[in-house]
Structure 1
Amino acid sequence: MPRVVSALAALALLAWSVPSAALQVRLVPPTPRQGDTVMLFVGGTKGARDVEGSLGGQRLAFFPYGAEYAALAGVDLETKPGKVPWRIGLVDGVGTPRKAAGILTIKAAGFPVQRLTLPDGMVNLDPQSEQRAANEAARLRTLYDTVTPERLWRGRFTQPVASRKPGEGFGFRRVINGQPRMPHAGIDYSADRGTPVVASNRGRVALLGEFFFAGRLVALDHGLGLYTLYFHLDGVAVTEGELVERGQTVGTVGTSGRSTGPHLHFAAQLGRARVNPPDLYTLPVRD
């Protein structure tokens, strides 16, 4: 009997010493460009808990997705091309910590230069307007740092307005009145004043405002650090804190703020990362 017990003990020790199966990690796209949204999928996670990770300095917010876990990460439009580390950690179904790590290569997007002419008062601000714009930018940064711990969005995102032509302008390096300015962090859709603007996906109205540059705006929190923003609106049809569904009207196209004519400026943020909104239309997701 002691020999049997010893044999069983040896088998048990051997079983515990066998390495667990490697985590199956996929990144889509595998080689993103500046401004891209990256979706990470982690397989081999049955019964897993405490799934966490990071891409560069960006913390990842994972959510259950079918038999896997998934997270969205943003490559800011001004990220320097090169190699960025990622890591993932979790505790598996039998309580064993498991980790994976790798390197993501970021490519240059080759954004064009756009030259604009605007009234001098909208470019060279007086001290009061400059302070106002700085305060409004700080409010937006605070918003982007706020991470709702649940996913509110479902499935792919939709274009928020019927436009006369495809949206354009994301990442353009802007020169306004001969002065280099911040790159354009959204996509512009040309449409008539009063055209309905709809929520690109399910989310909660996190901010309404009338900003110096953005004009009348709506910001939607889709959870897990993802926000979409709707600028230069003429009218607003939602209230702060309201939960809206994909396709629900949130406002109408206008030309408020710093604008050269009626259009919708549509932007997307993953934390502090400014990403190309149409990437959300083609996310590799089912629900």
Structure 2
Amino acid sequence: MFHKFKVPLIISFLGLITLFLGYKAISYSTYSVVPEISTKGLTSGDYYSGVVQSKIVSNNGYKIDHIDVYLDGKMLDLDGTKKINKKSLNFPLTIDTTTLLDGKHNLTVDIVDASKHQNKNQMNLDFYVDNTDLNATFIDQSYKVLQGRTIHAKIKANKKLADAKIQFLEKNYEFYPESEYSTVYESFIPVDCDLNAGEYQLNAKVKDFVGHDMNLSGRVDIQEYNFPKQKGFVVEKGKLEEEKEVSMSNRILEDAIEKWLTDSPNKKLWTGRFEVPVDIKKITTPFGEIRTTSEKGHYMHKAVDILNNPRSVIWASQEGKVVIKDRFLLTGNTIVLDHGIGVFTIYCHLEDFADIEVGDLVKKGNKIGRMGMTGYANGYHLHWELRVNNVAVDPFQWTQKNF
């Protein structure tokens, strides 16, 4: 009885084996998908120091035959890279970065499967080594600046920094490299006209790309400036009523500047000094003049009013991007230029605009409009304003030195 079933069972078993071997043969001959490759513990573009423990991870629908690993073009002699014969791989890779020079390095991984076609995939990963101790210092340990001016703080580092900030009056300001490859970093800190004179602390924190950080401290002496006083002036009510019909609220202007500040490029768009944007016949209102008017009450004029012939050409004081071009109740026809890293210039009361649009990049000296008296103005003049992180500062300081 047993022998009656034995032969069919053997035949069935042999049939299954034949099917299995046939499937394997077909898979071996036809499989064409390259292996997947990734790494854990090593990321392209990141910085590393000391000994790095990482893994090469791979999956393949057939089987992985072998891997070749190259560091800066040289094949590494590693155990366990041949005759792997597995569908998945978690290969440990240790890199002692202390044996490498600081700077950019390349890891190349070739993975080949065990199919007839020997499907191959390659991964190239660039990473950086930094085993140098971090060192940085203020170029000037102390600064002197008048109320309403700008502190130009600089630090010198021994290498490229991942992050650098300076704190003044509990507010943080970014440091930016002076140029693309410079290790001198600069920050522009506005000093409000209303800030009391006295000595203040500057606290900076810098960090390199492998996480080392250090703290720096300096001082700034804010010196008192005797801002002039003016009794004020009168703008005819009829003119203000006319402006209301054709102008937007200046609150819209301020909100727009706040929005553009968050989008300001993280690099300077300018080089050299700023220029006064019109030939000066007379300065009718210096920066910081204290005024009293019936419409606006007691306030400080945090800009410069410049007089010249009506409809004189107004030009860009520096290279920048046009971010606002519109008409507002108080400032009239207004242009705002973004010069990068939170530095803006504002040109108000224009008669009309030049052929420029929001989004355009303008060069220093390009025409942006003509002198007018639109908005809250009783005569032809240019209201010229410079803001750093949305704090108005004396624009003439920026024409007298390189920032």
More strand by share: 2
Within the alignment, does 1:132 sit opposite 2:246 as a pair? Answer: no
Deviation per residue, 1:188-223 (Å, 9 max, x gap):
110112211111111100111101110001000011
Return the offset for 1:67. 4.5
1:250 to 343, 368, 371: 368
Superposition CA RMSD, Å: 3.0
User: Matched residue of 2:166: which SS?
Assistant: strand
Deviation per residue, 1:31-63 (Å, 9 max, x gap):
212110111111134333312222224432322
Return the offset for 1:123. 11
Return the offset for 1:252. 0.9
Partner residue, 1:276: 394
Structure 1 unaligned segments of length 5 or more: list them: 1-18
**Which aligned runs of 4 or more in structure 1 are off by greater than 6 angstroms?**
122-125
1:87 to 186, 195, 203: 203
2:272 to 124, 131, 155: 155
Q: Which amino acid aligns with 1:72?
A: F
Within the alignment, does 1:25 sit opposite 2:25 as a pair? Answer: no
Return the offset for 1:84. 3.2
1:53 to 154, 163, 166: 166
Return the offset for 1:73. 1.2
2:228 to 112, 137, 145: 112
Partner residue, 1:44: 157
TM-score after normalising by structure 2: 0.59
Structure-2 change in CA distance of 1:234 and 1:186 (3 Å) = same
Greater alpha carbon shift after TM alignment, 132-141 vs 101-110 = 132-141
Give the Cα–Cα distance (whole angstroms) in 2 for the partners of residues 260 and 74 of structure 1: 30
Give the Cα–Cα distance (whole angstroms) in 1 for the partners of residues 218 and 351 of structure 2: 46
Deviation per residue, 1:161-195 (Å, 9 max, x gap):
11213574210110114974321011111011221
Q: Which amino acid aligns with 1:276?
A: D
Give the Cα–Cα distance (whole angstroms) in 1 for the partners of residues 211 and 254 of structure 2: 44
Greater RCO (Cα-Cα under 8 Å, separation 6 or more): 1
Structure-2 change in CA distance of 1:180 and 1:84 (3 Å) = farther
Deviation per residue, 1:98-121 (Å, 9 max, x gap):
220233232221111111231363
Q: Identical aligned pairs, as a percentage?
A: 24
Q: Which amino acid aligns with 1:44?
A: A
User: Matched residue of 2:397: which SS?
Assistant: helix
Structure-2 change in CA distance of 1:200 and 1:27 (3 Å) = farther
Partner residue, 2:337: 220
- Equivalent residues of 2:250, 2:331 under 8 A apart: no
Deviation per residue, 1:61-83 (Å, 9 max, x gap):
32222441112111112223234
> Which has the larger Rg?
2
1:261 to 360, 379, 388: 379
User: Matched residue of 1:240: which SS?
Assistant: coil
- Equivalent residues of 2:270, 2:339 under 8 A apart: yes
User: Matched residue of 1:281: which SS?
Assistant: helix
- Equivalent residues of 1:77, 1:273 under 8 A apart: no
Q: Which amino acid aligns with 2:398?
A: L
Partner residue, 1:202: 319
- Equivalent residues of 2:273, 2:401 under 8 A apart: yes
Structure 2 unaligned segments of length 5 or more: list them: 1-132
User: Matched residue of 1:223: which SS?
Assistant: coil
Structure-2 change in CA distance of 1:230 and 1:27 (3 Å) = farther
Q: Which amino acid aligns with 2:388?
A: L
TM-score after normalising by structure 1: 0.81
Structure-2 change in CA distance of 1:150 and 1:216 (3 Å) = same
